Amino acid sequence: MMQRRDLLGLALGAGAAPVAPGWLGTARAQGGAPGQGGTLRIGMAAPNTTLDPHLLSNAPNNAVATHLFDSLTVNDHASRSQPGLAESWTRQDDTHWTFRLREARFSDGSPFTAEDAIASIRRATDIPSAASFRTYTRSISAMSAPDPRTLLVETRAPDPLLLNSIGRVRIIRAALAGASSAEFNAGRAVIGTGPYALREYVPGNRIVLERNASWWGGATPWARVELRVVTDDAARLAALLAGDLDIIEAVASGNTERVRADSRLHAISGISSRFVYLALDQVNEVSPFVTGLDGRPLERNPFKDLRVRQALSLAINRQAIVERTMEGQAVAASQFLPKGGPGTDPALEVPAFDPNRARALLAEAGYPRGFRLTVSGPNDRYINDAKIVQAVAQMFTRIGIECRAETMPWSTYAGRNSQRTVDSCHLGAWGVNTGETSNPMSALVATEDRAAGLGISNGGRYSNPEVDRRLKEALRTMDDAGRNALLAEASGIAFRDVALIPLHHEVSVWAAKKGIGYVTRADQYTLATGVTRES
């Protein structure tokens, strides 16, 4: 088996606990008793939007899918590739891989074979609704199965992140490759090899799971798991305090001290790989949510002018957001990962807060009196998301831009984004789950090429040939040092061009009853397999 790399590096992996083999390792290493049984009730901060594991890639959907479906490789808490349904692998040359598959069964008792893996990867690549997963499978040119436990994969070009990428594709039965998303949401097609089987699904409310007794990873810590969606921060904490939940995720910054002061509870925290940013419309000639002070549309989109983009970035007091809005549960950002992470530009600093320079740049660009702008974002998805939108709008107002903050539930916001609506200025976030910068760069700032899986989440439609050239070269460079140097160059170009306005990296906080443990994850997923009873 090839040596696994810790791609997170010092920036995000510092202080992480050792990981036992297999993705259940974090739970076992922490002292939980496998197979101990009982019911675990988890308070989820955001709803998943589907049970179709290939429909839409976002953290709530992927976290739920991980309970039900396995993948060939899996990411541990520090985003390192570990064996999953593939128990080992070898690379024959830069473009040919051989995966040895483990013996496993689906929850309906049927055996897992290489044909199931092939069908799943093809479905994630080919169905129109799976564009967000195509970014992970776009390099694969051919697959074959010489026998049920051997999978041969050929890539179009060298793909240094293939192991990490295929870990995003959940494996379904080949017989269900033609199932619709409606069939998954109805539960009929939810047949996986994962640690749990589906028993009940009430969209936006709860998901009830039962232990999959035939799971190859061994008996899970909990016989029954209830994933309860409680989007309101105060209500989620209240349910924990009342004893209705055992652990909750995304504890609001204002509630952390309350948790620590309660002898029945404890807080669990760790820096995440989530990068929070603002995206600006850089494609429309007339931007939909920008007007003059008289309310009339502007003749040209101001965000196509670098000086305007720079002005908005300079108007933001990131340290104030970290200290006041986030109450210390964040680290100010200059790029996709904290400086020093793989693929980061060492010369990029956190943008200065300079409102005077911001006003001067607006005047130079032809907007001495500013303009009107709507800043949009979700209100129940990221830590303090609505407060961040409000804070940013206030900061923009102070440099002469009349701002209105518009927030909405994640289910509405995600649906709007999936319809490819371009907002003039919107809040976004990306979990950098490869531990280096090619993944967020491919999704967020690469020129949109949906067939190639590039720019899939590029909400502002930013495009820069120099970024694209370096990124594409990096994506076929197998040497880590060479690849990271190219990514660092691309990062420097993109962020100096204000492709996105960086805000911060989230610090994640969970709260749990005393005696309940959890190893924090860079991807911020809350997985029942990692929740244990502490001795």
At 435, the pLDDT band (50, 70, 90 cuts) reads confident
Q: What is the pLDDT of residue 31?
A: 32
Q: What is the pLDDT of residue 18?
A: 26
Buried-exposed string 314-332: b where 16+ CB fall within 10 A, e elsewhere: bbbbbeebbeebbbebbbb
Average pLDDT over residues 244-271: 92
At 29, the pLDDT band (50, 70, 90 cuts) reads very low
| Long-range CB contacts (within 8 A, 24+) of 365-369 | 365/302, 365/305, 365/307, 365/308, 365/311, 367/302, 367/308, 367/400, 368/400, 369/293, 369/400
Whether the predicted pLDDT of 495 surpasses 90? yes
Q: What is the pLDDT of residue 67?
A: 98
Tens digits of residue pLDDT in 334-369: 999 988 989 999 999 999 999 999 999 999 999 999
Q: What is the pLDDT of residue 401?
A: 97
Report the DSSP beta bridge partners of residue 44: 229
At 188, the pLDDT band (50, 70, 90 cuts) reads very high
Q: How many CB atoms lie within 10 A of CB 240?
A: 25
Least confident of 15-24, 231-240, 397-406: 15-24
- In which region does residue 251 sit, left (phi positive, over 0), alpha (psi from -120 to 50) or beta (all else)? beta
Tens digits of residue pLDDT in 149-182: 999 999 999 999 999 999 999 999 999 999 999 9
Tens digits of residue pLDDT in 45-88: 999 999 999 998 888 999 999 999 999 999 888 788 999 999 99
Q: pLDDT over 70 for what percent of the chain?
A: 91
Q: pLDDT over 90 for what percent of the chain?
A: 75
Record the tokens describing residue 456, joined without a space.
């899939």
CA dihedral 128, 134, 139, 142 (to 10 degrees): -50
Q: CA angle, corner 322, sides to 344 and 345, nearest 5? A: 10
At 119, the pLDDT band (50, 70, 90 cuts) reads very high
Record the tokens describing residue 462, joined without a space.
């930013």
At 23, the pLDDT band (50, 70, 90 cuts) reads very low
At 131, the pLDDT band (50, 70, 90 cuts) reads low
Tens digits of residue pLDDT in 278-325: 999 999 999 999 999 999 999 999 999 999 999 999 999 999 999 999
Whether the predicted pLDDT of 464 surpasses 50? yes
Q: What is the pLDDT of residue 417?
A: 61
Whether the predicted pLDDT of 215 surpasses 50? yes
CA 194 to CA 37: how far, in whole Å? Answer: 17
Whether the predicted pLDDT of 32 surpasses 60? no
Kindly report the average pLDDT of the chain as a whole number. 89
Report the DSSP beta bridge partners of residue 297: 291
Record the tokens describing residue 275, joined without a space.
């990068």
Whether the predicted pLDDT of 219 surpasses 50? yes
